[in-house]
A = this chain, B = another copy of it.
Amino acid sequence: MNVRSEDLTARARIRDAAVARFGRDGFRAPVRAIAEDAGVSAGLVIHHFGSKDALRAECDHHVLTVVREQKSRAIAYASPAETIGMLSTVQEYAPLFAYIVRSLLDGGALAGHFVDGLVDDAADYLQAGEEAGTVRPSADPAGRARQVVALQVGLIVMAQLGAAAGHGVAPTESPAEAMVQLYERSMLAGLELYTHGLFTDTSYLDAYLEYRQKDGKS
């Protein structure tokens, strides 16, 4: 996404246009629109990729590749402050993110892999945090990783539909902008939650443990 369009082969140009279009308009976006964005005819899109579905598969693959690259690069940032700082780079990969969000909402195959990856990553980070003493140990590490990712996913979805940030969010702003805004507006509360929890005592947790003991799942 950081290469000028003129430098790319038609095939790559179509792929990038498709990622952008799909991210912005969803997967119902017509092939003709993608073709126009890439400056080619609709027939050529099919000629190169065989079908729209195959084009999408290629987009999935490409996005996943880029994400993996960026992820391995992001491992470097580890300290709290730098982790926070990464937030500002979100905007740079807005098209990629938009595509992933669409895939998430569409329930596509990419979404599964992506979320699975997030869960695995979260589990690793939390494990590392535990060993470093910054993260509390958990009775259910996998479940906790899912919780953390779910919070992330939920924020993304809520940002996507714009209205979720509560009241007074302009509906005209871009999805990427909405996400950053929601992140900012929720960051404090999120860290608060992660730092102190929500409840003052253990009665809810105890109640659940007791309920679970009574009948081993329903």
- Which positions in A face B, CB cutoff 8 Å? 80-81, 83-85, 88, 104-107, 111-113, 115-116, 119, 126, 129, 133-136, 138-140, 142-144, 146-155, 157-158, 160-167, 182, 184-205, 207-212, 217-218
With A80-B204, A146-B158 given, name 13 new contacts (CB 8 A): A81-B207, A115-B158, A119-B164, A134-B199, A143-B188, A146-B189, A147-B186, A149-B154, A149-B158, A184-B217, A188-B208, A191-B205, A193-B193
Determine the chain B residues whose CB is within 8 A of the CB of A207 once the complex forms. 80-81, 84
Copy count, this protein chain: 2
User: In the complex where A81-B211, A134-B199 touch, is A119 in contact with B192 (Cβ < 8 A)?
Assistant: no
A207 to B163, CA, bound (A): 29
| CB neighbours of A85 from chain B (8 A) | 211
Contact B104 A138 (CB under 8 A): no
The answer to whether B201 and A193 have CB atoms under 8 Å apart is: no
A111 contacts across to B, CB distance below 8 A: 161, 163-164
Partner of A136, one of B126, B184, B196, B218: B196
Q: Which residue of B lies closest to A112 (CB)?
A: B163
Asked if residues A194 and B185 are in contact (CB atoms below 8 Å), the reply is: no
Q: Is the CB of A157 within 8 A of B104?
A: yes
